Structure 1
Amino acid sequence: MDGVAQALGPLFLLILLGALLARLQQPGGDFWPRMEQLIYFLLFPAMLVATLAEAEIDQVPLGRLALVLLGAIGVLGLLLWGLRHRLGLAAGAFTSVFQGGLRFNTYVGVAGAAALHGQAGATVAAVAVALMVPVINVLCVTAFIAAGTLGAAGLRTSLAALTRNPLILACLAGIALNLSGIGLPGWSQDTVALLGRAALPLGLVAVGVALRPPALLRRDRGVWAANLVKLVLMPVTVLTLARLLGLDPVSRDVALLFAALPTATSAYILARQLGGDAELMAALITGQTLFAMLTLPLWLRLAG
């Protein structure tokens, strides 16, 4: 437990630093929205490319890892959709619950994997991102379509955005460079790696900046359902599948870490743009991020 706390503690302190900076309105202006764009479109994709292009992917149990992560996402996605009418939520609110139950905070996941298991953990985390990001994006957009919150223009915009998602493109580029044997030649390796190193600390601070404490006052069925799925049922399902399929300790820990992560802060933007309940999404992001500071170490301790 001490090892887990030592690894994850600094990450949570960076998130709290971001919350403090937001409270103090520092640096002010539109600094943080622009910084988030820089992280999302340049720094984090650089980190994924640098990791995947040089990674020993053949050391990652790709098939079993995919079964564990994507199997859990599929099962719980179907569960949430099956509970749609029982929850009695409006269409927009349900799409926020769906996102809150399935999406994960990539910054915290990759930083946590590297803190727990070094380069081996970072490699498994990059592979996990490559597996999960496209699937979850497609599922969430499908939920908006099925719930009827999108018009024709919104549907076209969403599908076009999927093809331009920088994380998906970075994963494809990194894997292509790896499989081709080209890797990152010459100075490009160190240059891209340096860019990537800036992504995690800045990304964690940006997570804290995005928190909305007043949103915690919202307490309805949607909040409880999404939090139960994301912070309890998803980790239980992944841990069960990981043990059944015999994942090695590093892959098991990283899979469990990603399963127990809070939902992504980018889900708020998607909710606002595609007809979801943005206020509910803000409550889920803030509550899950704070709760995960307690639940993540507990799940990892249980796995160990």
Structure 2
Amino acid sequence: MEGVANALGPLFMLILLGAALGVTRQPGGDFWPRLERLIYFLLFPAMLIATLASADVSQVPLVRVAIVLLGAMMLLAIALWALRGWFHLEPAAFTSAFQGSLRFNTYVGVAAAAALHGGPGATVAAVAVALMVPLVNVLCVISFIAAGTLGASSLTASLVALARNPLILACLIGIGLNLSGIGLPGWSQASMELLGRAALPLGLVAVGVALRPTALLRLDRGVWLTNLVKLVLMPALVLGLALLLQLDPISRDVALLFAALPTATSAYILARQMGGDAELMAALITGQTLLAMLTLPLWLKLAG
């Protein structure tokens, strides 16, 4: 447990630092929105490309990792819609609960995987991102369509944004460079790695800045059920599948880590733009991020 705490503790400290900066509104102005865009569109894609282009993906049990992560996500998505009456939420609010149950904070996941298992952990994490990001985005867009919160113009814009998602494009570029044997020649490898190193610490601070402490006052049935699904049911399902398929310890830990992550801060923007319940989304993001500081180490300890 001490090893897990030592690996995750510095990450949580950066998130809490970001929360303090957000509360005190430092540095002020539009600094943080602009920095978030820089991380999302440049720094984090650079890290994914650098990792995937040079990684020995043959060491990752790709098929079994895909079955564990994507299988669990699909099963949970189907169950959420089948049992949505239990949430007692309006359609717009349910789309936020759906996002809160399936989306994951990529910055925390990749940083934690690297802290726990070094380079091999970062490689499995990059593979997990390449597998999960396209599926979770498609599922969430479908949830907005099914709930009837999207108009025709919003649907078109959502599909275009999905096709232009920088994380999906970065994964495709990195995998393409890897499979082609081109890799990142010359100085490009070092340059991309330098950019990528800035992504995780800045991303973790930005996660903290995005938290909304006042949103914690919302403690209705939808909040508790969504947090239960995301922080308990999803990791339990992934851990069960990982043990069933006998994943190696690194792949198992990273799969469990991504299952137990709090939901992504970007889900708030999507909820606001696509007709979801933005206030519920803010409560889920804030509550899950804080609760995950307790639940993540416990799940990893259980797996170990």
- Shorter-chain TM range is over 0.9
CA distance in structure 1 between the aligned counterparts of 2:83 and 2:144, rounded to whole angstroms: 16
CA distance in structure 1 between the aligned counterparts of 2:143 and 2:222, rounded to whole angstroms: 15
**Equivalent residue, structure 2, for 1:292:** 292
**Equivalent residue, structure 2, for 1:179:** 179
The within-5 A match list for 1:38-77 is 38-77=38-77
TM-score norm. by structure 1 comes to 0.99
The Cα offsets for residues 12-43 of structure 1, whole Å up to 9 and x where unpaired, read as: 00000000111111100000000000000000
Amino acid at match of 1:49: I
Residue identity over aligned pairs, in percent, reads 78
State the shift of 1:221 in Å. 1.7
**Equivalent residue, structure 2, for 1:191:** 191
State the shift of 1:86 in Å. 3.0
The within-5 A match list for 1:96-175 is 96-175=96-175
State the shift of 1:208 in Å. 0.2
Give the secondary structure class of the aligned counterpart of 1:247. coil
- In structure 1, stretches of 5+ residues that fail to align are none
CA distance in structure 2 between the aligned counterparts of 1:182 and 1:27, rounded to whole angstroms: 41
CA distance in structure 2 between the aligned counterparts of 1:150 and 1:302, rounded to whole angstroms: 41
Amino acid at match of 1:20: A
**Equivalent residue, structure 2, for 1:246:** 246
The Cα offsets for residues 254-295 of structure 1, whole Å up to 9 and x where unpaired, read as: 000000000000000000000000000000000000000000
- In structure 2, stretches of 5+ residues that fail to align are none
CA distance in structure 1 between the aligned counterparts of 2:221 and 2:123, rounded to whole angstroms: 37
**Equivalent residue, structure 1, for 2:274:** 274
CA distance in structure 2 between the aligned counterparts of 1:225 and 1:147, rounded to whole angstroms: 19
CA distance in structure 2 between the aligned counterparts of 1:24 and 1:147, rounded to whole angstroms: 37
Amino acid at match of 1:48: L
CA distance in structure 1 between the aligned counterparts of 2:4 and 2:86, rounded to whole angstroms: 38
**Equivalent residue, structure 1, for 2:22:** 22
State the shift of 1:163 in Å. 0.3
The Cα offsets for residues 163-186 of structure 1, whole Å up to 9 and x where unpaired, read as: 000000000000000000000000
Aligned Cα root-mean-square deviation (Å): 0.5
Structure 1 stretches of 4+ with a deviation exceeding 4 A read none
Amino acid at match of 1:293: M
**Equivalent residue, structure 2, for 1:2:** 2
State the shift of 1:79 in Å. 1.1
Task: Give the aligned length.
Answer: 304
The Cα offsets for residues 177-232 of structure 1, whole Å up to 9 and x where unpaired, read as: 00000000000000011000000000000000000000001011210121011000
Amino acid at match of 2:271: A
CA distance in structure 1 between the aligned counterparts of 2:255 and 2:86, rounded to whole angstroms: 30
**Equivalent residue, structure 1, for 2:303:** 303
Amino acid at match of 1:249: P
**Equivalent residue, structure 2, for 1:228:** 228
**Which 10-residue stretch deviates more, 287-296 or 87-96?**
87-96
Amino acid at match of 2:148: G
CA distance in structure 2 between the aligned counterparts of 1:167 and 1:290, rounded to whole angstroms: 25
State the shift of 1:57 in Å. 0.4
TM-score norm. by structure 2 comes to 0.99
